[in-house]
Amino acid sequence: LGGICVWRTGEHVRFLAPVFIDPAEQEKGYGGRALARLFETAAGKKEDHTEVERWKLTCTLEDSGLMRFYGHAGFRETGERAKVNERTTLVLLERVSY
């Protein structure tokens, strides 16, 4: 159906690979539920996400649907951007867990 990859990038920081869901199953709430479960697990201090204070990921600015999806999950732009080419800009997003 899909997945999320999580990397430890600091003692209280995790970096997510973008959530990926089978295209046939998108827009059915699976991605949002997966993120919610991940954040709940971290808040409960289970597994490898104990005391996570910041979640980070990159997204393409031009994908407004994906930017909206991550915004609904609590992610905000940090102001860091990297222009890949004329049509693609990567944006660093962050969700603070305080």
Is the distance from CB of 31 to CB of 19 less than 8 angstroms?
yes
pLDDT-derived band at 67, boundaries 50, 70, 90: very high
Question: Quick one: what percent of the chain has pLDDT higher than 70?
Answer: 91
Report pLDDT for 44: 60
pLDDT digits (tens, 9 = 90+) for 35-57: 998 888 776 655 555 578 899 99
d(CA 66, CA 63) in angstroms, rounded, equals: 5
Max distance between CA atoms of the chain, in angstroms, equals 43
- 73 CB neighbour count, 10 Å cutoff: 20
Phi, psi of 68 (to 5 degrees): -65, -45
- Element spanning 15, H or E: strand 13-16
pTM: 0.84
